[in-house]
Amino acid sequence: MTSRLHVINEEKIFSNNLSSQLNQWQLSNSGFNYNVLSVFGSQSTGKSTLLNKLFGTSFDVMDESQRRQTTKGIWMCKALDIPLLVMDVEGTDGRERGEDQDFERKSALFSLAASSVLLINMWEHQVGLYQGANMGLLKTVMEVNFSMFIANSNSDNTEKPPKTLLLFIIRDHLAITPLDNLRTTLTNDIENIWNSVSKPENLTEANLSDYFDLDFVTLPHKVLQPEEFDQQTLRIRNNYFSDKDSKEFALKPEYHRKIPADGLSHYLETIWDKVQNNKDLDVPTQQELLAQYRCDEIASETLKIFHNRIISVKKPVEIGKFVPELGKVMRDAEKEALEMFDDIAFRYAKPVYDKKREELVDSIRTTLSPLYISQVRNLHKKAIDNFKKELHTRLKSDSYDFSNVVKESSQHHIETFVEQANEITLQGTDWSYIETLEQLKLDIDTVSAECRSEELLKLIKQLDRTIQKEAGEFVEVCLNHPDTDMWDKVLGRFNALLDRSKTSYNMKASKLNSTQKEIDATTGSLLRRAWISLRNKIEEQCSEAILLFRLRSIFEDKFRYDNKGIPRVWRPSDDIELIYTDAKEHTLQLLKLYRSIQPQDEEKVFSYPQLDDTVQDIIRVSDEEESYNYEESLQVLGEAKEAQLAARFKKDADAIYVEAKRSVVSSISKIPLWFYVALLVLGWNELWAILSNPIYLTLSLLGLVTAYFVYTLNLGGPISTILVTVGKEVNRIIVEKMVNLQAETRDTAPTGTGKNSDTLNADTNS
């Protein structure tokens, strides 16, 4: 949303700030690449609201509870993302001005002279009315249109003035009366007004379409149909003012007044003076006109040279780089430009020369002001960056006083900032860097606090990583050998680790000038983080998979090994059921130790510190640490999870038990001796045939030896791979030979057939 300007106030005085406001809107150098639009309509019909919706402007809107005049005079604002200047004209037929309709006529004439498009805002129920539809005002516009723009034309002049688009926006359209019917009614009314207007003798046959184009669009009710209203407003913006390829695009070149943007301010001021004087236009003298033209021309050339002079420093400054010689470059460029202007322009009318020189100075200062602001920002950024670097560099040393480091470094960089900011401040300007200097001081304090917090946090994280590493090792060792004092061992080693970490932290935190209160607060945070890390390691070691594996290992050690650690070889005389029951009950008893963290020695219980509010001001506390529940963290296994683990363990134990029972059964089951006697009797002939035949015996021995080596050296896989490869290659060669043979046969068959045919034909002829 852009700022607005009161171009003509209620006292009919033209604003002197339009030129600077155009610079602020970044339109001064747009040439003809801009347009002007004005809105007409009765008072309190929502003109300002419509413009704000259409163009993203910031005009004041009416308080509907009072329904009094909101827009007084003429306001101007730039449309959002469109090179379009929008003028909000005071509403017509207002009770505040009563019978005084002079301003309405003058504002209408001013808008006509300035605008490419006149947007006429009316309600649907006003269509067909004379005053409500502003027909009287339109008649005045058309009459003076001739006197202002066409009166000086003659029959030999073929150039026509630019046309004007009258865009009627019909509000609160209920779609009962079609738009075509409303268009017809309004068009007939406007043509009747045109026909009744007095025209110059040489333009009595002029048509309305020669000077005005008409277009009509409707809008739904804003209150009753807000979504449809917003959609239609967006469509009008896109089709009429944004999309140049749209058939409905309103900002066409034929409507442009052909006034360059840099001359718009003077042009509008002149037009308002003409409108104010109405009949006898106050035309400047030829001398003043020449002075204005030449001074503008000289100033334009001067500004070109000035811009070329500073272009080398403009871009680096705008992209955030600090230019050391910027102050000297700005002063030299301004001095050179003014001397060049004075050498030539002083010969012309002094009032015009003085005014144009002031405008040139304002233009130069307006151009340099953004560079100054950007350079001051760059100085601010440079000071902060250098302060951070110096602070971090000096904090890396083994011995330092944090407060002295901050004080010395901040003072140095603030003095450097002031010195460099004074160097780029031009005399005679109201430029100031005080606000940025105050912000720099605040930012330095913020950086110091952040650096201190970062150092503390870095220290805590470093200790936290050490705690995580060491805790992970002894937690795994202790939990892998569960017994009644398992948690005493874990917490004992954990407390010893915390004592070492606290000692290391207190020593290093003292270098940051931390008070005892701050050390106590951050130490509490360190202890909380350490407990969370320990608890995470315990949770990791008590996961379902790891704990189930651990239970099975304990059971197997108890079940498969005797008291001396010797593996059991199950015999039929062993009481497997009793050993199984003892091992299972022993393992299930150990499972109960994992339920919660309960040491036998109360002195080893961890004292979980409460979170102090001071920690929030010193270091960043994570949400997990802030909302952590210590009492709940003591519970490792829930009842449901413990029951599930016990059930799964029993299944694994049952499987091991069944396996042991099967090994006993398999050792009992043996092949009977009579089977081998029968095998020898029935296979004696075959065995004797092999033993009595040297060839069979040799082949059999070779086969047995080969099989032995293949099995021993594990060559079965490679040999099978080689055989498969050889088989494929043999198959490929055979197929290739057969294909070639078939091809040779097919090639020789036609020749033999032809020869036999010739012989047969010869015999037949004989």
Distance CA 67, CA 189 (A): 29
CA torsion through residues 709, 712, 715, 716, sign: positive
130's tokens = 């004379």
**Region class of 640: left (phi > 0), else alpha (psi between -120 and 50), else beta:** alpha
Residues 118, 167: Cα–Cα separation, whole Å: 6
- Whole-angstrom CA distances from 557 to 180, 509, 550, 563, 584 are 97, 50, 11, 10, 11
> DSSP string spanning 703-763?
HHHHHHHHHHTT-HHHHHHHHHHHHHHHHHHHHHHHHHHHHHHHHHHHHHHHHHHHHHHHH
CA 91 to chain centre: 43
C-alpha 241, offset from chain centre:
29
44 annotated binding-site participant? yes
573 is in an annotated binding site: no
Helix ranges, 592-638 (H): 614-618, 623-626, 630-633
- Report d(CA 584, CA 574) in Å as an integer: 17
- Around Cβ 34, how many Cβ atoms within 10 Å? 23
Residues in CB range of 464: below 8 A, 6 or more apart: 526, 529, 530, 533
Question: What separation in angstroms does the CA of 513 have from each of 400, 463, 517, 520?
Answer: 10, 19, 11, 13
Does the annotation place 41 within a ligand binding site? yes
Q: Are 326 and 315 in contact (CB under 8 A)?
A: no
Q: Please identify which residue in the block is written with the tokens 């320990």.
A: 534
Q: With contact defined as beta carbons under 8 Å apart, do 441 and 383 qualify?
A: no
List the structure tokens of 380. Answer: 């601010």
Crossing angle of the two packed helices 326-345 and 286-318, in degrees rounded to 10: 170
CB of 91 within 8 A of CB of 44?
A: yes
Sign of CA dihedral 376, 382, 384, 390: negative
In DSSP terms, 216 is beta-bridged to 168
Q: Are 88 and 71 in contact (CB under 8 A)?
A: yes
Within 13 Å, how many C-alpha atoms sit on residue 312's CB side? 8
Is 48 marked within a binding site? yes
Instruction: Say whether 469 counts as a known binding-site residue.
Output: no
Q: Does 399 belong to an annotated binding site?
A: no
Residue position matching structure tokens 């593996």: 567
As a 3-state breakdown, the chain gives helix, strand, coil percent values, each rounded to 5, of 65, 5, 30
Spell out the residues 6+ positions from residue 245 whose beta carbon is closer than 8 angstroms to its own. Answer: none
Closest CA to 55 of 114, 127, 119, 104: 119
Helices 102-114, 264-277: axis angle to 10 degrees equals 150
584's tokens = 């299972």
Burial-class residue 19 by CB neighbours within 10 Å (0-12, 13-18, 19+): buried
Dihedral, 755, 757, 763, 764 alpha carbons, nearest 10: -160
The b/e string for 103-127 (b: 16+ C-beta within 10 A; e otherwise) is: bbbbbbbbbbbbbbbbbbbbbbebb
Q: Dihedral angle at the C-alpha atoms of 62, 63, 68, 69, nearest 10 degrees?
A: -30
Number of Cβ within a 10 Å radius of residue 214: 16
The one-letter amino acid code at 582 reads: D
The tokens for 715 are 């060559």
CA distances (Å), origin 548, targets 29, 262, 299, 654: 79, 84, 90, 14
Residues at the binding site are 41-48
Residues at the binding site for GTP are 41-48
